[in-house]
Amino acid sequence: MGADLHDIRYVRIGCDDLDTSVRFATDILGLELMERDGNRAYLRGDDRDHNICYTQGRESGQVTGWEVASLDALDEAAKAFEASGVTVRAGTSEERELRRVRGLIVVSDPTGNIIELVARPDACGRRYFPTRDAGILNFSHVGLHTRNPSADEAFWVRNLGGKVSDWIGDAALIRINDVHHNVALFPSTRAGIQHVNFQVESIDDIMRSFYHLQKNNVRIVFGPGRHPTSGARFLYFQGPDDIVYEYSTGVRLITAEDEKTYVPRQFPKAESSFCMWGSVPDIPEFRVPQPNGSAVARAA
Ligand SMILES: O=C(O)c1cccc(O)c1O
Ligand SMILES: [Fe+2]
């Protein structure tokens, strides 16, 4: 039995320049700055205490954090990893402190993506109050680079308790709760975070941000569009440190009732599998090879 992940909790992203990343997150993305010192900054787009921790220095790496229900569940997860030959490291007290959690274990997927499992993260008694109203409802999913889609998918399914909701080519969209996907694994040549998704309230927020981002010279890299897989309408844009951010609205839920009959669907690696409206991605991992061998260039 694999770990029982309840939800995504945080991402940690090493930054070239903390000020630049914080300014982007607050003024463009619409997150609330919760805490900051010279080495790290904590931001959120929902009622959790933080969703993103930016750390000074790209070399501090990229990590995703996932919540389990209790310290006991975390112990169970550690035992299950060991039983199946997965190297698991217990977090240090300093690491737990910096992540604002009581329990922490760390594993890697076959690609080398660092995956942290946490228990009893700090709750926050104040509601989310951003400086820019982007209509964010909550932090929802991450895209990860994968060098070995079948091995990483198997790791998520067997060791982390994930279920594949759909595939686009070899990319698996995987859920750990009733959201269509909490993680998606995109074939690539490296490890790391490929994109970070926040759900927004409506298509109006997507379109308002589309104009706001253009006005602020932020590069739109995909959309506005609609995913046939989750049904969500989306907008992707380029942030600092090579991170792409996605707003989306209307992500499909696969409930316990739906699950009785749900069968994951295989979508071909085609433009129409990423966007049913015809938007063309300027994101390497989403690009579809053309019959003549050249990649599609986004119309200026
Ligand atoms: O929402 C989706 O279905 C989706 C599909 C492809 C790529 C993504 O980032 C997605 O969020
Ligand atoms: Fe996404």
Given 59, 86, 119, the domain boundary residue is 119
Q: Which atom of ligand 1 is nearest to the CA of 246?
A: 9
Cα 135 to averaged position of ligand 1 atoms, centre (Å): 19
Pairing of strands 62-67, 114-121: parallel
Whether residue 162 is found in the same domain as residue 202: yes
* CATH number of the domain to which 44 belongs: 3.10.180.10
Instruction: Give the nearest ligand 1 atom to 166 CA.
Output: 3
Ligand 1 pocket mutation, candidates 170, 179, 180, 181, criterion most atoms within 8 A of CB: 181
CB 105 within 8 A of CB 117: yes
Identify whether residues 145 and 265 lie together within a single domain.
Answer: yes
Give the separation between CA 141 and CA 271, rounded to whole angstroms: 21
Q: Which ligand is nearest to the CA of 281?
A: 1
Same domain (yes/no): 110, 169 = no
**Domain contains 29:** yes
Nearest to 249, CA basis, from 230, 271, 222, 273? 230
- The structure's pTM equals 0.96
Give the closest residue to 224 by CA, choosing from 210, 238, 214, 211.
Answer: 210
Residue 258 and residue 143 share a domain: yes
- Count of positions (residues) in the chain: 300
Does residue 62 share a domain with residue 169? no
Q: Cα of 230 to ligand 1 centre, how many Å?
A: 7
Residue 230 CA: which ligand 1 atom is closest? 3
In a shared domain, residues 115 and 187: no
Q: Is residue 99 part of a domain?
A: yes
Pairing state between β 89-90 and 136-146: unpaired
In a domain, 111, yes or no: yes
Per-residue pLDDT tens listing for the chain (300 residues): 689 999 999 999 999 999 999 999 999 999 999 999 999 999 999 999 999 999 999 999 999 999 999 999 999 999 999 999 999 999 999 999 999 999 999 999 999 999 999 999 999 999 999 989 999 999 999 999 999 999 999 999 999 999 999 999 999 999 999 999 999 999 999 999 999 999 999 999 999 999 999 999 999 999 999 999 999 999 999 999 999 999 999 999 999 999 999 999 999 999 999 999 999 999 999 999 876 655 555 554
Q: Which of 140, 164, 166, 173 to mutate to test the pocket of ligand 1 (most atoms within 8 A of CB)?
A: 173
Are 164 and 233 members of one domain?
yes
DSSP 59: G
Q: Whose CA is nearest to atom 1 of ligand 1?
A: 230
Q: Say if 213 falls within a structural domain.
A: yes
Q: Same structural domain for residues 142 and 69?
A: no
Three-class DSSP category at 176: coil
Mutate to test the pocket of ligand 1, among 8, 229, 280, 288 (most ligand atoms within 8 A of CB): 229
Retrieve residue 150's tokens.
């079948």
ipTM value: 0.99
Per-residue pLDDT at 289: 82
Question: The tokens of 182 are what?
Answer: 């909490």
Separation CA 151–CA 176 (nearest Å): 18
Q: Which residues contact 292 (CB under 8 A, 6 or more apart)?
A: none
**Domain limit, last residue, from 86, 119, 152:** 119
For the CA of 236, the nearest atom of ligand 1? 9
Listed residues 119, 154, 175: the one ending a domain: 119
Task: Mark 210-221 as b/e (b = at least 16 C-beta within 10 Å).
Answer: bebbeeeebebb
Closest atom, ligand 1, to C-alpha of 251:
1
Residue 60 and residue 145 share a domain: no
Q: Is residue 263 one of the residues assigned to a domain?
A: yes
Residues facing residue 173 across a β-bridge? 166, 184
For the chain, how many structural domains are there in total?
2
Question: How many angstroms is it from 263 CA to the middle of ligand 2?
Answer: 20
For 236-288, the DSSP string reads EEE-GGG-EEEEEE-PPB--HHHHTT---EEE-SSHHHH-SS------GGG--
Residues 6+ apart with CB under 8 A from 181: 141, 165, 166, 173, 174, 175, 229, 230, 251
Q: Is residue 114 part of a domain?
A: yes
Q: Which residues line ligand 1 (CB under 6 A)?
A: 143, 168, 173, 184, 195, 197, 227, 229-230, 232, 246, 248, 274
Tell me whether residue 67 is in a domain.
Answer: yes
Residues 228 and 158 occupy one common structural domain: yes
One domain, residues 86 and 210: no
What is the C-alpha to C-alpha distance for residues 61 and 65, in angstroms, rounded to an integer? 13
Distance 209 CA to ligand 2 centre (A): 17
Same domain, 79 and 154: no
Strand partners, 54: 13, 41
CA of 193 to the centre of ligand 2 (A): 11
Degrees, nearest 5: CA angle 218-232-265: 125
For residue 291, being part of any structural domain is answered with: no
> Which range of residues forms the domain containing residue 237?
136-286
